[in-house]
Chains A and B, each alone.
Chain A
Amino acid sequence: MNKSKRMDQRLYPIATLLLAIVLWQMVVTLGGIPLYILPSPLDTVNALISDFGTIAGHVGMTLYESIIGFTLSILLAFVLGVMMDSFPIVKKSLYPILIVSQTIPTIALTPLFIVWFDFGLLPKVLIIIMVCFFPICISLVDGFEKVDKDYLNLFRTYKASKLQTFIHLKLPYALVNFFSGLKIAATYMIMAAIIGEWQGGTKGIGVYMVRAKNAYALDKVFGAILVIVIISVAFIYVINMIAKKTTHWK
């Protein structure tokens, strides 16, 4: 792709976004809409700046939960993915259940988690795992399965062991798939943490949002949303960078 084309790709969405923001500002200012109904973009940015210290503290907690949950999700997905690939019976038993389990509304379960595990870190981490584990695990398992049969035969003629076939063939082959699952999980990660925090807790951006909403400080709620968006985008960007480095042949 040449440079001007790449510029184009960025320019159009940015221009559209700017236009939407200007329109939003005009509607709020000219229509005289009060802050407790809809804050303007300027109100949002102001709230973010004036309350930055508090927000940063809450965000720190949310990030902490998210990173623990995300790391555990990856580990769990790997362990289960490798098990399902190595032992067909594990896959046959678990794969359909995993798919169906995704129809369970996570939001409906979160209050129960609070009942069972109290208001601390554990329920939040569990919710993140519930949301993030699935896309990572499924993409990994599908990646293992997609390995070309001719490649597997090649490794058989070289008399490669199961472990060698895994390290030199299956794992790198599945890596591209794995990263696309990781990106999906990353978009859900912060959201899952916030859903957990809404149910109760003392710190976290979700807690901050509930408090701000209860005080009708919608500018702060919007400020928090803005922060969440920025963090999520930053996460996906980092994963993209790592993916590009690790799957350089793509």
Chain B
Amino acid sequence: MQDRTLAGKANSAARECDALIRLDRISKSYGASEILKDIALHVGKGEFVSILGPSGSGKSTLFNIISGLVPADEGTVHVNGQIGYMQQKDLLLPWKTVLDNIVLALDLKGQDKKASRAKAEALIDRIGLRGYERKYPSELSGGMKQRASFLRTFLASGEIMLLDEPFGALDSITKSNMQTWLLEMQKALGITILFITHDIEEAILLSDRIYVLSSRPGVLKEELEVGFNRENKRERLVNPELLIMKEAIKGLL
């Protein structure tokens, strides 16, 4: 186990030069309570990287820092490209149709309405919402809402997506379908994903690399490379290595 981790570290160091996101010595406190301490991480182009940690480990604060909503107390943030931030809540506007919600960011930027709607229409099949374009969010299921929210985030950003526990509120069957779907989407659209979760299995299933965060203050405990079944991540679910890795991570937390 230890060997694999070390090998993974060496690998990722080589890729570090073309990183789309790089954080260096990030610290953040709210008053007297230290939320994040000395966080350094990087995400390369096309990578799927997860940040795994218990609740209260400052994962969301980290995302707020990366997306520029909150300034860090110390350290540097480098982002090379446009970032889209998707949260656990779908945050669809209930008074807008699904299609109008998806193109919201483009509309706000003042882009041509017809062109942005055509862009969204072209991708609507991929998120399985064909026929729902003119419906309102209240008429969609939880998984459909998250997919609509995903497409909105993708259209707003392009290549880098921060996903903050996007499947946290879904039932386990929907969640499993959504994980498969997300992997397909990443392949098809060639996006870079930084993913927050507190679900160890989810992190192992989806990621190329995992950063394990401890809680209060959030400190990086370990960086792990998920080396098995890289080509078909779904198969990881039946690979015993998943269980070994899961136990190893449990030991860290």
Contacts and interface: CB of A to CB of B under 8 A. Distances in A.
Contact of B108 (A153, A160, A247, A249): A160
Contacts of B195: none
Contacts of A248: 95, 136
Contacts of A148: 91
A157 B67 contact: yes
B108 A156 contact: no
Contacts, number: 46
Nearest to A161: B108
A249 B69 contact: no
| Most central of A154, A156, A248 by chain B CB within 10 Å | A154
A31 B64 CA distance: 77
Interface string B59-102: 00000100111000000000000011101010101111000000
B138 interface: yes
Interface stretch (A33-41, A164-172, A183-191): A164-172
A8 interface: no
Given A150-B87, A153-B69, A249-B136, A158 B108 contact: yes
Interface residues on B, range: 20 to 34
Given A168-B93, A249-B136, A158 B67 contact: no
A56 B176 CA distance: 68
B105 interface: yes
Interface string A130-170: 00000000000000000010110111111110001000110
Given A150-B91, A153-B69, A249-B94, A158 B104 contact: yes
B69 A168 contact: no
A155 to B, nearest CB: 8
A145 B33 CA distance: 28
Interface of B: 64, 67-69, 83-85, 87, 89, 91, 93-96, 104-105, 107-109, 136-138, 156
14 contacts: A148-B91, A151-B91, A153-B69, A154-B85, A155-B108, A157-B67, A157-B69, A158-B104, A159-B109, A164-B108, A168-B108, A175-B95, A248-B136, A249-B137
Leading 4 A-B pairs by shortest Cβ distance: A249-B94, A172-B95, A158-B105, A160-B108
